[in-house]
Amino acid sequence: MKSTADHATLAEQFNRDEERVDWHDGALWWIRQKRDRSANQTPQWEELREAASAIKSNVISNLHDYLVQFEDNLKKNGVKVYWAADAEEHNQIVYSILKAKEITQMVKSKSMLTEECGLNEYLHERGIDVINSDLGEYIQQIDNEPPSHIVLPCIHKRKEEIGELFHEHLGTEKGLSDPTLLTRVARKHLRNVFLTRRAALTGVNFAVAETGEYVVCTNEGNADMGAHLSEVQIASMGLEKLIPERKHLGVFLRLLARSAIGQPITIYSSHFKKPRPGQEMHLILVDKGRSSLMARPDFRDSLKCIKCGGCMNTCPVYRKSGGLSYHNTISGPIGAILAPNLDMQQHADLPFASTLCGSCSNVCPVKIPIHDQLYKWRQVIVKEGYVANRKTFSMKAMSLTFSSPEMYQTAGKTGRWILNHAPFAVNHKLNPWYRQRDMPGSPKQSFGEWYKKNINSKDKH
Amino acid sequence: MNSREAILAAVKKNQPALSPLPDISMFKVVEADIASRYTEVFTGIGGQVIAVSELEHIKPLLSEHFDISKRTVTTLPELSDVAELINTEVDPHSFDDVELAIIRARLAVAENGAVWLTESVMGQRIIPYICQHLAVVVTEDSLVSTMHDAYGKIASEDYGFGGFIGGPSKTADIEQALVLGAHGPLSMTIFLIKQ
Amino acid sequence: MKVALFIPCYINQLYPAAAIATLELLQKLAVEVTYPAKQTCCGQPMANSGFEHMTQSCNNLFIENFSGFDYIVAPSASCVLHIKDHLHSHADEAAATAIRGRIYELVEFLTDVLKIESLDAYFPHKVGIHQSCHGLRGLHLAQMSELVAPDFSKPQHLLNMVQGIEMISLDRKDECCGFGGLFCIAEESVSVKMGKDRITDHTKNGAEYITSPDLSCLMHMEGILQRNKSNVKIIHIAEILNSNMPAL
């Protein structure tokens, strides 16, 4: 499934259709603007971000005790608890729960964690059919493509393409592309799915250590439709989703939807605590790299993420390269700082897919210094040897030249040394600067030379 | 060592020195006219607010706004003459054909329009999600300004399931075009009882 | 007040006019300016590529060149931010710390240190400001559109003192141009697309000139403008602030 092409290559492919890039960029910028309006209308917005960040700092610093407290409360509430070290173990647990009840079909609401774990494929291989019920995720599933955005899974698709998929998979009239009509068709089809599935799996947005409840946020109502009609309800959550007390939900629910799409709250914020009579509830706590990320002081704050997608909407690189260019379940700036911890070789390119403009850190509702972490990941990736030797050699040459005034000045004289180096032509046969940009002019003399002639000589006389 | 022990040990080893919880008591919004604010916000989301002076007055409005020839259910005993009282024991799938559900909110939040419901006021958990149209009775004195105030009131209340619902179900997954009625109700109406 | 002029490598070699304007402007404002002749580069091209560990000798040279001044001023927000954030020394951390606290980008030096309120400058053109990300989000030269906070802009404040100038406003007032150091090579297609879109925002709003406290962004946009045979020009903010009044 994993792509071998890097972000730059995939982004270049995305950019071959400029009209689509403009449309994609415009759609996401519109959401960024809605987020700005919403933030501006919320009193004490910056203080809220600060509080959210501080609560999450507390969670990371006391996670062990919160996990134990949460587990105790889950058990008291009648929820069965599991611990999974990695994707394989998580998938096995889900499979064993379903197998025990002889269930072969499951409906799932949005869960990036299960996407990361490859749960659908795992269950499919064992004869269990999973349907994603979030409309965007459903569309991505029938197109056999991963989500390109954590909140807006098919933001890169045109309605005509979705119409074509519906024609193929749901038998709609050819050429039908009206979003309302397509949504009605999906509503009818998926309602039948909800009514016939005995098992439902949801992700978790927030889990409260104090009470043992967990909160799932959707706009569509798909998590609730699945969960309340199921006899087996499963929730998969990363360890970092915990928050200490119920009252802290106030802070996060005020920030989440406003940061995500400029809405004051998601339509549905469902607090699951105990199973219905006759129903089973299972919750799987998944590590999958979280505890190892905690061991990296420069990067552990990325565990604060509440998956609002705000950093993607504001990121000009994301908007102009598309989420699939990141070849990772979680794309965009946050994906680029989470992925290297999981597989540095596979994701060595992602921290470089940024101009370090810093807009992501400013919209982040939990104040993760995303662009600082991108910079720091670059240092780690280079030190651990995941960058081509050619680049290392050229950097050494650059470093040597800049370390020596004499070499620098001589190099400058002999044809503006810099024109042949940073950043125009570093070890590339075909100069990528020149493909769509002219070279800067080459002045007769540098400032240093001018200064020597005009100022130093004046001083002498 | 099983995964539970291994994970907890790794977390304990890697977590940094304790960072204190912040004080969140300073988040206060005082609304001059909370009912107007609520109405403005909820209407902006795509919901409808109808102000009435007493519960009895919503009965004639139901037929005006909804097709009550189809299945209408409620948890409010006062409405049992116009709607079927929800049976809390039956299979939730049996509510698939509900056109309109009328339930009472525990509280409602002015800053985002959301109502707080627990399963005791839903009758069954599935009710406010499976109905085609949702109507919620909110009394003016149950309005709060922000989510902080809402959780202040919910406090340590025990429930098996509770949820905020902030409007009709919606999606914008197809080209960011807003469509009301994704999987849940197509519309949401608040009957705001102002004394 | 003893001020050292730091002219980053690419400005020294490719945009000497901006450096000269910076020097002349400071001299007009009666600042005693010295240009340490042995300066080279701040080390950012290596560091942003992940090679910060190779910048130590570059840092040492920087410290050698720029110690002992009251202020260090440079016409490049990006290089100044790099020094502020990353200049360290195993040998003499105290000297590095002193420099990190004394280095200023030109605009902020004029508004925050010299606190100038008027200028004799004349530039009768329509101008758009490109807020470089490092100047904006790093040095906080203007309010950032993502934050809920009162609006201000130091470059705008200075340009308002220039006679004859007409400032245009942008649809996206502080979006990145896509230069990003080696990003402009490594991610060429996205970089150019970002640059094109920034330029379009300026041109459709009527700009004749795009100005900025950062020439690296301007260099990237200039490359695109010239390739597309545009009449729109780039100009460093120092050149506008140093532009002379017309002779009577």
Please check whether residue B132 lies inside any domain of the structure.
yes
Q: What is the mean pLDDT of residues A350-361?
A: 97
Which of A180, A224, A250 is the closest to B151 by Cβ?
A250
Residue A74: predicted pLDDT: 98
Please check whether residue B11 lies inside any domain of the structure.
no
Identify the band that residue A1 occupies on the pLDDT scale cut at 50, 70 and 90: very low
Which of A399, A419, A445 is the closest to C57 by Cβ?
A399
10 Å Cβ neighbour count for A450?
A: 18
Please check whether residue B2 lies inside any domain of the structure.
no
Q: For residues B120 and B106, is the Cβ–Cβ distance under 8 A?
A: no
Task: Kindly report the three-state secondary structure assignment for every residue of C30-98.
Answer: CCEEECCCCCCCCCHHHHHHHHHHHCHHHHHHHHHHHCCCCEEEECCHHHHHHHHHHCCCCCCHHHHHH
Q: What are the per-10-residue average pLDDT scores of chain C (248 residues)?
A: 94 95 97 93 87 88 95 97 94 95 98 97 97 97 98 98 97 97 93 98 98 96 96 98 82
Helix (H, G, I), strand (E, B) or coil at C115: coil
Domain count, chain B: 1
Q: How far is CA C218 from the centre of its chain?
A: 9
Residue A332 backbone zone (phi > 0: left; psi -120 to 50: alpha; other: beta)? left
CATH no. for residue B54?
3.40.50.10420
Please check whether residue B4 lies inside any domain of the structure.
no
Please check whether residue B131 lies inside any domain of the structure.
yes
Chain A residues closer than 8 Å to C193 by CB = 15, 18, 21, 320
CA distance linking residue C79 with residue C87, whole number of Å: 11
Q: Where are the alpha helices (DSSP H) in chain C?
A: 9-14, 16-28, 44-46, 56-66, 77-86, 93-102, 106-108, 133, 154-159, 183-186, 188-204, 215-227, 237-241
pLDDT tops 90 at residue B78:
yes
Residue B135: domain span: 30-167
CB hemisphere CA count around A21 (13 angstroms):
23
Gap from B186 CA to chain A (nearest CA, Å)? 10
Helix (H, G, I), strand (E, B) or coil at C151: coil
Query: Hey, are the CB atoms on C188 and A424 less than 8 Å from each other?
Result: no
Top pLDDT among C245 and B123 is at: B123
pLDDT tops 60 at residue A425:
no
Gap from C237 CA to chain A (nearest CA, Å)? 17
CA distance linking residue A136 with residue C71, whole number of Å: 55
Our CA dihedral for C185, C79, C139, C123, rounded to 10 degrees, sits at: -90
Listed by number, the residues of chain A in 23-52 with a beta carbon closer than 8 Å to a beta carbon of chain B are: 27, 30-31, 42-44, 47-48, 50-51
Flag the least confident range among A299-313, A326-340, A422-436, C231-245.
A422-436
Q: For residues B154 and B116, is the Cβ–Cβ distance under 8 A?
A: yes
- Touching chains C and B? (3+ Cβ pairs < 8 A): no
Residue in C with minimal Cα distance to A364: C146
CA distance linking residue B176 with residue A153, whole number of Å: 11
Tens digits of residue pLDDT in A247-304: 999 999 999 999 999 999 999 999 999 999 999 999 999 999 999 999 999 999 999 9
Mean of per-residue pLDDT scores for chain A: 93
Touching subunits of B (3+ CB pairs, under 8 Å) are: A
- Residue written as token pair 């609002």: A308
Touching subunits of C (3+ CB pairs, under 8 Å) are: A
Query: Hey, are the CB atoms on B11 and A43 less than 8 Å from each other?
Result: no
Q: Strand locations in A239-323, DSSP E?
A: 242-243, 268-272, 280-286
Query: Hey, are the CB atoms on A220 and B182 less than 8 Å from each other?
Result: yes
State the complex-level ipTM: 0.98
What tokens appear for A121 in the block? 């494929």
Identify the band that residue A457 occupies on the pLDDT scale cut at 50, 70 and 90: low
Pairing mode of beta strands B100-104, C71-74 = unpaired
Please check whether residue B126 lies inside any domain of the structure.
yes
Which of A46, A321, A428 is the closest to C190 by Cβ?
A321
Please check whether residue B182 lies inside any domain of the structure.
no
Please check whether residue B144 lies inside any domain of the structure.
yes
